[in-house]
Amino acid sequence: MSDASARRAVVRRQTRETDVSVELTLEGSGRYQVSTGIGMLDHMLEQLARHGMFDITVEASGDIERDPHHLVEDVGLVLGQALNEALGERRGITRFGHAIVPMDEALVLVAVDLGGRGHAGIQFNFEREMLGQLPTENICHFLSAFASEGRLNLHVRELAGENDHHRVEAAFKALALSLRQAVTIDVRAAGEIPSTKQTLG
């Protein structure tokens, strides 16, 4: 369900393994209410809301005692679907965004293109297998799922880093800033498809 005037969407996905609900408002104020059962994932989604100035509610449950993979990936899928619905026809959006964000010794670059084609190119140099209850390998799965369902081109590059928590938090803050820029309506192009093809996808 989407609300084009407010650029807001509500999406729910239920499977035998997970139950995920997401509410997303693009013209928000950075408010969040997040509960996935995985503390580090909650923390990253909170960064996305706060620094992207999106209002995000996430309620998710699943078989994390078996393996967090299903839940992490499904949260990425549903959040991407919510973004896609909230963007509607994507008329007038800036479309592109990028940010380079430091966190202590870590430095991460993120670039996005909301051009309608899902792709993810992600590069981290993780040293640990886990961040709390979140396997570091699942961070890439989350971002790939988000890019696929959100129909966006996403590139993440670690430029420097020694601490895995710092690497990931810098990446999510950079993603937030990049999306904040890309979803913004450009008043000079209001109502126009941001492509010389006059179509996205």
pLDDT of amino acid 194: 67
Q: Do residues 114 and 193 touch, judged by C-beta distance below 8 A? A: no
pTM above 0.75, yes or no: yes
- Domain boundaries, given as residue ranges, for the chain: 2-189
pLDDT of amino acid 2: 47
State how far the Cα of 19 lies from the Cα of 4, in Å rounded to an integer: 25
pLDDT at 10 over 90: yes
pLDDT at 1 over 60: no
Domain 2-189: give its CATH superfamily. Imidazole glycerol phosphate dehydratase; domain 1 (3.30.230.40)
pLDDT digit string, tens, across residues 47-84: 999 999 999 999 999 988 888 999 999 999 999 999 99
Q: Mean pLDDT across the stretch 127-153? A: 97
